Structure 1
């Protein structure tokens, strides 16, 4: 480790010296970029991530001087991947630089990939608003490049976080849209009932029984097989439990479904919100009677 660190520092000093020295404009930056690349690699081997990231940024600057945007974009991405281990803010900043260069080059697929990576970093930090913002940018670019699967993955993340932030209508629109598009695709159509279940749970969170029942009718029109599924039965049972203000019936329906198909933590969290709202309404009604 110590040897690698010493090697890295040596390469970096030589690179800086090249930049300060005389020489033909191009060759000076080419020589320095080669040395910064070696320095960054040695820093990585020494697990000195901040210094590796900084060396890659210097490498990117050399490439920009040589008007090699593609290489500069890659160097910024390499810097971001080093910073990811120690400094999320720097990592995001380098990925942004990389995206901007790839956008200039018309490499939208690469730009989308790195927007998605920024979104994942914000997700890791539990900054859901920023995560949504970058997943949206990634989804749009993937869509424009017709990479539908990646676009849908990003959209599902947006819907998931929107619901967590109580932006239920936004989540509903996305889940319904994905379900609609998936129906015509043999590989994706098996996931339709799952998307409609997610949309339905978001409808339940809004607490409007009429809207829930209208949505169930709409889902049945969209996919005639839906009413024969356990997902439909769960939503219908929960809807009538809310209508009847019957918390026990609500719990039983959830338990019955969960015993056959495990509910993930996202669904469980949202269904708990619905149940809490039912309890709060019950207390309100009791107060009104006294």
Structure 2
């Protein structure tokens, strides 16, 4: 006996369209018909997924979700009982993520975020918000939108009282803002991240690094007085901050800037960067500070 041939996703989708054309004739209620259509499109999506047709799989999961939404199979007020609609959207997001359709992925994830917020599941909303922030940052090179997404994710995590994940999103937002030369925004995010550091057990090192990042942004703004004021505040919170290598680096740079000595500034930076590796945005901001000296004095 020959083995029964497995229908392809396209063939199953054609059957789904025929079932839709027949309407709810063979179902007791309209809701039963709608849920059955959702189930059938889920089968279609699985068939596409098995053949690695990710775009078609995502589209079919979205159709399934639309039908489940019409049938309203679950209680939306119960966050522990995710609806079939949400489950299908989540699978659609996974399929879209595996192909070159980032905007489809983002669209579906935004729907899931709204659903999570409506159920007051802010931890899930934050995870999803961070997911699309990463897509905007790494795939679409849209840093402005990525910045906004990371800030929103941090707000969601704060609602869930998750200082570690809140801190991570704030630090990411700060670094992106600095790359965009939005230094006031960067300072605000880094200082919030420093504050969150004080609410966890990983206090000292994390707090000091965020304060150092804030100091660099103040220097990029050309407001040395604000750097000194901030350092005073940070040292009151963490008495060890004044003895760190980051603090010494900030002081050495400020001495060079106060003296208007571009050569001294270059030497200070080179000595530090030869010993310690810096993030790309920090390297860029050090160059920006150097360019600021050139613009003011024509020394370089």
TM-score, normalization: structure 1?
0.90
1-side partners of 2:106 and 2:53: how far apart? 19
2-side partners of 1:47 and 1:189: how far apart? 47
Equivalent pairs, count:
282
Question: Does residue 87 of the first structure (1) align with residue 64 of the second (2)?
Answer: no
2-side partners of 1:20 and 1:112: how far apart? 40
Question: Deviations for 1:56-78, whole angstroms, at most 9, x for unmatched residues?
Answer: 11010121022146221222222
Counterpart for residue 230 of structure 1: 245
Question: Does residue 23 of the first structure (1) align with residue 38 of the second (2)?
Answer: no
Question: Does residue 244 of the first structure (1) align with residue 259 of the second (2)?
Answer: yes
Relative to its length, the structure with more helix (as a share) is 1
Which segment drifts farther, 197-206 or 166-175? 166-175
Counterpart for residue 80 of structure 2: none
1-side partners of 2:133 and 2:141: how far apart? 10
Contact 2:147–2:173 at 8 Å: present in 1 too?
Answer: yes
Cα RMSD over matched residues? 2.1
Question: Does residue 191 of the first structure (1) align with residue 206 of the second (2)?
Answer: yes
1-side partners of 2:162 and 2:12: how far apart? 41
CA-CA distance at 1:5 after TM superposition: 9.9
| Structure 1 unaligned blocks of 5 or more | none
Q: Call closer, same or farther: CA 1:181–1:253 in 2, change over 3 Å.
A: same
1-side partners of 2:122 and 2:18: how far apart? 37
Question: Deviations for 1:162-185, whole angstroms, at most 9, x for unmatched residues?
Answer: 112222122112212322332353
Question: Deviations for 1:230-261, whole angstroms, at most 9, x for unmatched residues?
Answer: 00000000111111111222122222222322
Question: Does residue 111 of the first structure (1) align with residue 159 of the second (2)?
Answer: no
| Structure 2 unaligned blocks of 5 or more | 77-82
Pick aligned residue for 2:155 from 140, 149, 160: 140
Question: Does residue 74 of the first structure (1) align with residue 75 of the second (2)?
Answer: no
TM-score, normalization: structure 2?
0.87
